Structure 1
Amino acid sequence: MKLRFPMAILAAMTLFAGVPAAVSAEEASPGSITNLTATPKVPVRFAPQQEIVQDIASKPVAATADATIDPAADDTDHATLAAAVAAQPATIDDPELNCIAIGVYYESKGEPLAGQLAVADVILNRASSGRFPASACGVLTQRSQFSFVKGGRLPDVDTSRPAWKTAVAIARIARDDLWKSPAQGALFFHARRVSPNWGKTRVASLGNHIFYR
C-alpha cells in the first residue's frame, strides 16, 4: 500500500494534466459532455468610446418627427427652377394649394419664375407668422390686402391658360418646400411703380416686385 499510494497520486496528476481546459457552452459541440460542466465565457469589454462607436455604426439612423428639411438640399433634384416647375403635376389636390395658385396667378403671372415663387412664399410666410390669418385662403381674403380680391371672394381663373398651370406648379413647389425661397422671410411686396415708404427691411427685388420682411 505504501508503494501504491504515491503511484496513485502520480497517476491522478498525470490524468488531470492531460484534460483540456473547460470551454464555454458556445464552443462545445452539441451533445458534448463538456456542455454539462462548461464554465461561462467572460466577455471581452470594449472601452466606453469603442462601444459607443460600435453601437452607432451598427444601428440605422431613424428620422425623427421634428427633423427639418433644408430646402436648398432639395434643389439638387432639378437643375433649375424651370425644370422643377416642369416636373410638377398640373392638378389641384386641396383648397389651400388652389388659393396659393390663385394668388400667384393674379399677383405675378408673366413675372420671372423666381418672382412668382417669392409671391407664393409671402402667402405661406404670412399664414405661418401668427400676424395674419393662419391659412393661405385666409391670407388672400383678408380685407384690404390683395387688390384682386373683391368682397372677400377669390375670382375665377381660366384654368386652360398656360399661366395657370405655371401658377399651380409654383404653388406646389412653395407649399412642399422644393426650392429655396428667393425672398427669405418676406411678408410684404409691392410693384416697382409705387413707393409706399413702409420702413421695412428689403429682402429681394425680383421682376416687377420688391419684397420686404
Structure 2
Amino acid sequence: MTFSIRSTLLVLTALSASGVAPAQVAPGSEPLLASESKELPSLIVPAILPQAAEPAIAVLPVDPLSPNVPAAEDETVEVTATGDLQSMVSQLRSSDPGNAEMECLAGAIYFESKSESLKGQLAVGHVIANRTKSGRFPSSYCGVVYQRSQFSFVRGRSMPNINRSSMQWKNAVAVAKIVDQELQPAPMPKALFFHAKRVSPGWRLARVGTLGNHVFYR
C-alpha cells in the first residue's frame, strides 16, 4: 500500500507526541524553547548598582513648644550693679523705672530728696521699703506713697509732672532699683519716718539719726 509523504509525516508526529511528558512549569520559571528553535536566549546581565550612600538626615526645625524639647535658656541677662553707691547709680541710671511700683518708689525719692546726696536719697528710699515690710503700712510701694496724709508732694492719687530727661530723675530711678534689689544697706536702719530739719513736729518716736537735711525715726 502506498502512503503519501504527507500521511507519513502525520503518523510520525503522532507517535513522537505520545512519548513526551508535558513540561512542568513552575510559576515564574523561564519559558521553554522548542528544540527546533534557532534562536538562543539573550543573556540578561543584571546591572551593578552603585553602593548606596549613607541616607541623608533631614534637619527639622525645632518647635520650642514641644514637650520633648527642653526650653531654651532665657537670653535676658539681669545686670547687677557692683561697687560703691556712686558706681551703682552710674550703672543703673535710666529714665524708665520699668513698672508702676518702681515709678512710685522713684517718684517719692525724687520729690522728697532730689536735692540730697545719693546716700540721703538712699535713706529716703529705704524708708518706703521698710514701711512695706513693717505690717503697719500698705505692703506695696504705691500703697505707701499714696496713703493719705503721708507725703506732701502727693495730690490725691497722682504726682506732679516729672522732667524725665533730667539727671535728678535718672538718679532717683537708679536709687529706687538699688533699694528694691537691696544692693546697698540702709543708711538709717529700720527707719519708718523722716522730716526736714527745718521743722519740729514733736514726734514721740525713737530717733535713728540725721542725714543731710532729714531727721529719721522708727
Same fold (TM over 0.5): yes
1:153 alignment partner, SS class:
coil
Instruction: Summarize the alignment of residues 161-172 of structure 1 with structure 2, pairs less than 5 Å apart.
Output: 161-172=166-177
Which residue identity does 1:83 align to in structure 2?
A: S
1:125 aligns with 2:130: yes
Q: Is the 8 A contact 2:97 2:106 kept in 1?
A: no
- Partner residue in 1 for 2:90: 86
- Partner residue in 2 for 1:157: 162
Q: Is the 8 A contact 1:187 1:211 kept in 2?
A: yes
- Partner residue in 2 for 1:148: 153
Alpha-carbon shift at residue 155 of structure 1 (Å): 2.4
CA RMSD across the alignment = 1.5
- Partner residue in 1 for 2:115: 110
1:187 aligns with 2:192: yes
Distance 2:154 2:138 in 1: 15
TM superposition score normalised by structure 1: 0.62
Distance 2:92 2:136 in 1: 31
Which residue identity does 1:211 align to in structure 2?
A: F
TM superposition score normalised by structure 2: 0.61
- Partner residue in 2 for 1:98: 103
Alpha-carbon shift at residue 152 of structure 1 (Å): 2.6
Q: Unmatched 5+ residue regions in structure 2?
A: 1-79
Which residue identity does 2:143 align to in structure 1?
A: G
Which residue identity does 1:185 align to in structure 2?
A: K
Distance 1:198 1:143 in 2: 18
Alpha-carbon shift at residue 130 of structure 1 (Å): 1.1
Q: Is the 8 A contact 2:197 2:215 kept in 1?
A: yes
Q: Is the 8 A contact 2:93 2:171 kept in 1?
A: no
Distance 1:92 1:101 in 2: 7
- Partner residue in 1 for 2:67: none
Which residue identity does 1:162 align to in structure 2?
A: M
1:87 alignment partner, SS class:
helix
Relative to total residues, which structure has the larger helix share, 1 or 2? 1
Which of 1 and 2 has greater Rg? 2
Indicate the larger mover: 125-134 or 158-167: 125-134
Distance 1:88 1:145 in 2: 28
Q: Unmatched 5+ residue regions in structure 1?
A: 1-73
Q: Number of matched residues? A: 138
Q: Is the 8 A contact 2:123 2:187 kept in 1?
A: yes
